[in-house]
Chains A and B, each alone.
Chain A
C-alpha cells in the first residue's frame, strides 16, 4: 500500500446524500477478478447523464471527492473503493461514512475524512464558484486546508500510523501469530468445522 502523508488536489463536489455502493459501482461491473479497471463503472448509472457532475469539464482531474452524508452505504463490495481509486481519487470527504465502506477504504489506502456537514457545504460552495480551488488534506497534521481555512479532523492514531507508513494489516497480524496459536489451543471442541463435509 502506498504511504499517505498529505495530498493536494482539486475537488469533485457531489451534492448527494446516501450514496450507496450500488451507485458507486453497479453490480454488473463486479465480475472482474482483478483490482483494476473499475473506473469505467464508477457512478455507472449517473454517468449516462451529461449533466452529472463527474462529466463536467471544469471538475475533470479532481482527486478529492466531497460527498453528502452517509456515503458508501449498502453492499460491502470493496470494488467501490477500487473504482474511486482507479478513477484517480485519493480522498473522500463526507459528514458520515458507512462502517464497511470506511473500513474497506482504510485497508486499501483511500483516505476517508469526516467533517461537519456545514464544512462540507462550505467546500461545495467554494468549489462551485471556483472549480480551481485546491484543497490539501494533511493526515500528518490532521487537517483539511483551502483558502484561508484550516479544518481539523479526527482519526484514530492506529489507522493514521498505518496509512502514513503504508502498512499491510496482514503483515502486522502475522507478527503476532503466536497469540493466534495460543488462542486456538483453548477453543471449545464443540465449535463447528466445515471439514469433513457433513450433509
Chain B
C-alpha cells in the first residue's frame, strides 16, 4: 500500500525504531525564541551538555518585543531580562540569532520561510504551537514544549509516537473576497478544536493547489487550532518557485537534487488516510469567529447563534459562557457588531501579501474615528518590502499605526494589548478569553475583513463598502 506525505517524511527521519518505544526522529531545523527556551538552556548547563547541531538551530526575538521605539532599551525589565537571556544563551552556545533591529528579525515562522531554511521534506520544530506554518512547504513541522526544546538542543532528535493522518480535501474555486483564512476558519468550525487531535492534517484539492505560498502558510498555521500538531501541503511548482532565490535555498547541482527529491513528496494515489473530510470552496464566504475558541466561527452574513438551539450540552454551555464573555446577544447579525480595535499582523497574516490585500481595501479611505488600527509586519523584511511599495503610507494616511515586527497583539505579551471590554477584529489565530489582553474580546478575521471593518467600524467585508 502507498504512503501518505506525512508517512514518507516520518520514514525518512527515523533514527531508531524499537518495539514498544516511540520512534526517535531526526530534526532538520530547530527554531527558538525568547519565551520557551531559557529553561532549556538552563537544563543543558546543569547537565554540562552542549548543543549538538548549532548549524541546524536559529533564534529570533519575537514574542515579547515592543513594536515601538525599538532603538531604545526594552522598557519592561522582565521582558528585557528574557530577551537578554536569549542573547546570552545564543552567544554562549554558538547559536545564530536575529535580534531586535537586525534586518532578519521577525516572527520565527515568517523568518524561516523568507530565509529559505524552511524546505520540503524537512522535520522542523519550535517551542511554539504555530510551527505548523512551515507545513505549507511539505515539511513535517510542529510545536514542542520546553523539555523537548532541551532534548532537541542536546540530541537533534525527538522521541515521538507516529500520529494518524487526516486528508482535508478542498475542491472548487474561492469567490472574490474569500481567502485562505476563511478556508481554515471554516475547517476548524467544521471539525472543532479537538477534531485534529492525534492527526497530521494534509490539505489537498484544487482550491489548495491554487493558493500562493503565503496563503498556504495561513492555512497550515492554524492546524493547531483544529487540535492537530501539524498540517501540511504537498510541494509543487508554486513551492519551488517561491524557494528558488531564497538565501538558504540549495544552489547548482544541490538544487536539482533537492527538486528531484521534493517531487517525490506527494501522498501516493493508493495511500490510505485514517480519515478524509471534504469542503466545497465554491460555497465558502468570509468567516468570522463569534466566541472564545477558534471553532466558534460562522460566515460573516450570519447571526450570533442561540445557545438554546445547540443540542450538545457541553457545546451549549461553552456557547453560553462565550456569549457572556464576548458581551453578545443571540440573534444579533454579526455585521452589526461594533469593534474598537483592528490588529493586522501575526504569523497567521503578517506577511507581505496580507499587508497588500488590506492596503488595497484601505487605499483612499479613512478608518472609522471609533477604531484604532495596528499594522504589525511579520518581519523586518516584510516591513521594508511594504515601505518600498508605499503600503506604509496607505496605512498611515488611512489613520492606522505602522509598527515594527513582532508577535505583538496576537498574544499581548508586549505592551500591545486590549483593555478590559475592548473588542478587536484580529487577523491572528486565537480568540481565547484574554488572549489579546485581560478582558479583551477577539473576533478572528482575514486581512480583507480586517480592513473593511476598520473603515466601517462594524464587522464587514470589502463587498459592504
Contacts and interface: CB of A to CB of B under 8 A. Distances in A.
A198 B116 CA distance: 10
B205 interface: no
A33 interface: yes
A30 B432 contact: no
B122 A191 contact: yes
B257 A190 contact: yes
Nearest to B76: A31
A27 interface: yes
B365 interface: no
A27 B155 contact: no
Contacts of A199: 103-104, 115, 247
B39 A194 contact: no
B293 A18 contact: yes
Contacts of A156: 161
Interface in B160-182: 161, 163
A78 B318 contact: no
Contact of A177 (B28, B63, B117, B155): B155
A17 B314 contact: yes
B38 interface: yes
Contacts of A169: 147, 151, 159
B258 interface: yes
B257 A76 contact: no
A81 B16 contact: no
A76 B58 CA distance: 19
Given A31-B79, A180-B157, A199-B247, A100 B144 contact: yes
Tell me whether chain A's interface is mostly helix, strand or loop, or mixed. loop
Interface stretch (B19-27, B356-364, B366-374, B447-455): B19-27
A85 B119 CA distance: 38
B327 interface: no
Interface residues of B, number: 91
A28 B415 CA distance: 10
A14 interface: no
Interface in A166-199: 169-170, 172-174, 176-177, 179-180, 183-184, 187-195, 197-199
Given A69-B194, A107-B147, A194 B413 contact: no
B317 interface: yes
B393 interface: no
A104 interface: yes
Contacts of B52: 180
A26 B432 CA distance: 10
Contacts of B150: 170
B129 interface: yes
Contacts of A112: none
A100 B154 contact: no
Interface string B136-148: 0000001111111
A174 B411 contact: no
Contact of B144 (A76, A108, A190, A191): A76
Given A22-B435, A99-B227, A194 B58 contact: yes
B64 A31 contact: yes
A73 B293 contact: yes
Contacts of B117: 192, 194
A13 interface: no
B155 A174 contact: yes
B194 to A, nearest CB: 5
Contact of B432 (A22, A31, A174, A198): A22
Nearest to B84: A33
A93 to B, nearest CB: 16
Given A45-B438, A69-B194, A174-B155, A195 B55 contact: yes
A73 B227 contact: yes
Nearest to A81: B145
A195 B96 contact: yes
A157 interface: yes
B396 interface: no
Contacts of A190: 250, 254-255, 257-258, 261
A67 B147 CA distance: 24
B275 interface: no
B311 to A, nearest CB: 15
A96 B197 contact: yes
Contacts of A20: 293, 430, 432
Contacts of B26: 180, 183-184, 187
Contact of B151 (A31, A77, A170): A170
A68 B313 CA distance: 12
Interface string B404-433: 000000011100000000000000001011
Contacts of A81: 145
B82 interface: yes
Nearest to A97: B197
B24 A198 contact: no
A96 B194 CA distance: 8
16 contacts: A22-B432, A22-B434, A23-B434, A27-B413, A74-B129, A98-B227, A99-B198, A100-B145, A170-B151, A173-B159, A180-B155, A184-B156, A192-B29, A194-B117, A195-B54, A198-B247
Given A98-B227, A180-B156, A195-B54, 4 more contacts: A100-B142, A170-B47, A190-B255, A192-B117
7 interchain residue pairs of minimum CB distance: A104-B145, A107-B147, A78-B145, A33-B38, A76-B143, A190-B254, A198-B247
